[in-house]
Amino acid sequence: MPNRDLTAFVPMTLSEMKARGWDAIDILIITGDAYVDHPSFGPSLIARILLSEGYRVGIAAQPDWKNPDSLKVFGRPLIGCGVSSGNMDSMLKMYTAGRRIRKEDAYSEDGIPGRCPPHASVVYTQLAKRAFPGIPVVIGGVEASLRRVAHYDYWQDKMRPSILVDSKADLLCFGMGEITVPKIFARLRKGLPLDGIKGTCRYLGAAESKSFTIDSSVAALPSYSDICSDKLAIMRQTKIVEAEMNPWNGKRLVQETNGRMLVVEPSRPPMTSGQFDKFSELPFTGLPHWSYKGKIPAWEMIKDSITVVRGCPGGCAFCGLVCHQGRHLVSRSIDSIVRSTERLARSPFFHGIVSDLGGAAGNIYGHGPKNPELCRKCRRYSCLFPSFCPNYNADQKPLIKLLDKVAAVRGVRRVFVNSGIRLDLAMKQPELTQKIIAENVSGQLSVAPEHLDPSVLALMRKGKAGEFETFRRIFERVNGETGKKQFLVPYFISNFPGCTEANMKIVDDYLEKSHWSLRQVQDFIPLPMTMGCAMYCSGVSPDGKPIAVNKGLAERRVQRDMLRRRHDPNSGGGKYRPFGGRK
């Protein structure tokens, strides 16, 4: 189109590169997602940050992974390539818990599956090496984070070495890369070595591996061969990784793999609130790239939302988020969020509804330590389990203030909280909880009790068994006071390690008694690096006690079907008397 601004997006076409007056690019970002220029899409965020640092950046979104020429749109990058599977692990994106191919890829145009390859980080790295022989390749994103050490791949049903080993990339960046990635490419531009960068992994050569010294500053993981031969080794590894995850006191990790050393540097400390503001307010268009004709479902879901907090204090055993975003929270300033809301309100697609002010959970904004110095010494895997850390400040006032400020922005009619509410925190935030239910629910409020049996909840590292019922009563009371007909949307997991048929029946009986139809159901998927995955593989709990584990699809069917017969995707949510009717 003649009037299209070819400099609005990070270049994905040759015409966009030329419109910026460039004759080449410095860095090519390769991603397994369609290109959406929005800060909630990791590769797009990294591309914008690199562009703001003065690098000439191009994007190859879902290239033809069988054809190296698909990466040559801009010619050979002068510095290197960055590779990511996108916002999800590529195997999770492609396959269900039943190891069947998903019918939709929410990160592809029109939801068409198959445009991102399995083990995308490996495939794209090898594609880049074929297209540009000798070029440095850095892998990052959630897939790299969850697979940075030896791990179990559920869909292949086998142990794999670090994805850095499989991909033969030059460096792996784990965690959120806003600070780390520019440091990596700055070194590459200057021809400097890549050792010692926090938040990265290197696979040493044979000579360097022989001379590597394991001393008190290093924590040795079980070797890759041990992981393959000893089913308890992955539990030992997971406990070491969790103990060393704190960026302020965590040790370097080392893992012998195929006769060479994998070195994992300590995690990078989280960015500051000011940095979060700066990165979030880069000149994103907030739109899918103009070349797409169809819809991108993931963008449709988040286009009216604003991410306000990073990290998760929970440390739930089934969730990989802490392995990627970390446990320590950082929140954007209210002024920055208001500016983003004002910009959103000017968007042509905006109709007055801010769909979410969220993050890992809907009620963690503004939380942090009472004394930050204590956090620097902490080795807990969770701020909230098995009990609340006395140093954790679950202040409800910042989010209350934020909701009111955003609601006052011109053009905004309603503000919703659609990120799931943590029940354990909701009990400690009575004023905020009441406000969200009364004013900030879009008709459905997502909560994640995950289970109702106390022994399974303990293995999941979730709250207490009675929290869901207590919250449900609060929800009903507030609905009664406001006269609103709103629905709870609870989320339960079947076949978690240690959950027997008898344990699952507690959930099933509760749903039957409450006349509840579920909108969301999930059969457990053992994500790499999570404690749930370690329990699934080893058959023991973290304290070494044997637990029941359902592995085969036939074994898993009983619990899965308990939830599925309660599943009604067309329901308004969890339906129950008196505010949802009978089902």
Tell me which DSSP letter residue 339 carries.
H
Which CATH number characterizes residue 451's domain?
Answer: 3.30.750.200
Q: Given this model, what pLDDT does residue 552 score?
A: 86
Residues 403 and 548 in one domain: no
pLDDT for 3 beyond 50: no
- In the block, tokens 């790239």 appear at 289
Instruction: Tell me if 455 is assigned to some domain.
Output: yes
Q: pLDDT tens digits, residue range 123-160?
A: 999 999 999 999 999 999 999 999 999 999 999 999 99
Torsion of CA 169, 173, 179, 181, to 10 degrees: 10
Q: Given this model, what pLDDT does residue 567 score?
A: 62
Q: What is the pTM of this model?
A: 0.94
Residues 471 and 383 in one domain: no
Distance CA 217, CA 494 (A): 40
Tell me which DSSP letter residue 71 carries.
G
- Indicate the range of 150-154, 179-183, 317-321, 513-517 predicted with least confidence: 513-517
Distance CA 65, CA 24 (A): 22
pLDDT for 435 beyond 60: yes
- In the block, tokens 């339960």 appear at 492
Cross-sheet strand order for the sheet of 444-450:
444-450, 487-494, 520-523
Q: How confident is the model at residue 1 (pLDDT cuts 50, 70, 90)?
A: very low
Could you give the percent of the chain with pLDDT greater than 90?
87
Instruction: Tell me if 525 is assigned to some domain.
Output: yes
Contact 358, 417 (CB under 8 A): yes
- The token duo for 300 is 């449709």
Residues 468 and 580 in one domain: yes
Phi and psi, residue 121, nearest 5°: -65, -35
β-bridge mates for residue 369, sequence order: 392
Residues 406 and 456 in one domain: no
Distance CA 252, CA 220 (A): 9
- The token duo for 371 is 């004394």
Annotate 2-50 with DSSP letters as a single string: TT--TTSSSP-SHHHHHHTT-SS-SEEEEESS--B-STTSHHHHHHHHH
Instruction: Tell me if 308 is assigned to some domain.
Output: yes
Instruction: Tell me if 215 is assigned to some domain.
Output: no
Q: pLDDT tens digits, residue range 265-298?
A: 999 999 999 999 999 999 999 999 999 999 999 9
Question: Among residues 201, 231, 266, which one ends one of the domains?
Answer: 201
Q: What is the mean pLDDT of the chain?
A: 93
Q: Given this model, what pLDDT does residue 93 score?
A: 95
Angle subtended by helix axes 42-52 and 180-190, to nearest 10: 50
The pLDDT of 212-230, averaged and rounded, is 95
Distance CA 441, CA 193 (A): 51
Residue 541 DSSP SS3 = coil
Question: Among residues 201, 227, 244, which one ends one of the domains?
Answer: 201
- The token duo for 94 is 């492609």
Burial of 428 (0-12, 13-18, 19+ CB in 10 A): middle
Residues 401 and 502 in one domain: no
pLDDT for 409 beyond 80: yes
Instruction: Tell me if 383 is assigned to some domain.
Output: yes
Residues 526 and 378 in one domain: no
Angle value at C-alpha 224, between 218 and 229, nearest 5 degrees: 130
First to last CA, the chain: 52
Distance CA 388, CA 308 (A): 23
Instruction: Tell me if 390 is assigned to some domain.
Output: yes
The pLDDT of 568-577, averaged and rounded, is 48
Q: How confident is the model at residue 582 (pLDDT cuts 50, 70, 90)?
A: very low
Residues 529 and 453 in one domain: yes
Instruction: Tell me if 544 is assigned to some domain.
Output: yes
Q: Given this model, what pLDDT does residue 2 score?
A: 37
Least Cα distance to 168 among 44, 280, 81 occurs for: 81
Q: Given this model, what pLDDT does residue 553 score?
A: 85
Residues 505 and 402 in one domain: no
Amino acid making up residue 10: V
Q: pLDDT tens digits, residue range 383-393?
A: 999 999 999 99
pLDDT for 578 beyond 70: no
Residues 71 and 157 in one domain: yes
Q: Given this model, what pLDDT does residue 391 score?
A: 97
Distance CA 399, CA 104 (A): 34
Q: pLDDT tens digits, residue range 116-128?
A: 999 999 999 999 9
Q: Given this model, what pLDDT does residue 580 score?
A: 30
Q: How confident is the model at residue 577 (pLDDT cuts 50, 70, 90)?
A: very low
Q: Give the count of beta carbons closer than 10 Å to the beta carbon of residue 7.
A: 12
Q: pLDDT tens digits, residue range 438-473?
A: 999 999 998 989 999 999 999 999 988 889 999 999
Residues 139 and 42 in one domain: yes
The pLDDT of 155-179, averaged and rounded, is 97
Per the model's pLDDT, the better-predicted residue between 580 and 187 turns out to be 187
- 312 is in which domain, residue-wise? 304-417
Beta strands in 241-308 (DSSP E): 252-257, 260-264, 305-307
Q: Given this model, what pLDDT does residue 360 score?
A: 92
Measured CA distances, 580 to 316, 439, 443, 479, 565 (Å)? 30, 18, 11, 11, 19
pLDDT for 558 beyond 70: yes
In the chain, how many domains are there?
3
Q: How confident is the model at residue 562 (pLDDT cuts 50, 70, 90)?
A: confident
pLDDT for 573 beyond 60: no
Distance CA 451, CA 172 (A): 35
pLDDT for 235 beyond 50: yes
Distance CA 300, CA 286 (A): 11
Q: Is the dihedral of CA 190, 191, 195, 198 positive or negative?
A: positive
Which CATH number characterizes residue 189's domain?
Answer: 3.40.50.280
Q: How confident is the model at residue 574 (pLDDT cuts 50, 70, 90)?
A: very low
Cα 109 from chain centroid (whole Å): 21
Residues 56 and 194 in one domain: yes
Residues 393 and 501 in one domain: no
The pLDDT of 329-348, averaged and rounded, is 97
Annotate 197-258 with DSSP letters as a single string: -TTEEEE--HHHHHH----TTEEEPPPHHHHHH-TTHHHHHHHHHHHT--TTTPPEEEEEET
Q: Given this model, what pLDDT does residue 517 score?
A: 76
Instruction: Tell me if 514 is assigned to some domain.
Output: yes
Distance CA 569, CA 444 (A): 13
Question: Among residues 146, 180, 201, which one ends one of the domains?
Answer: 201
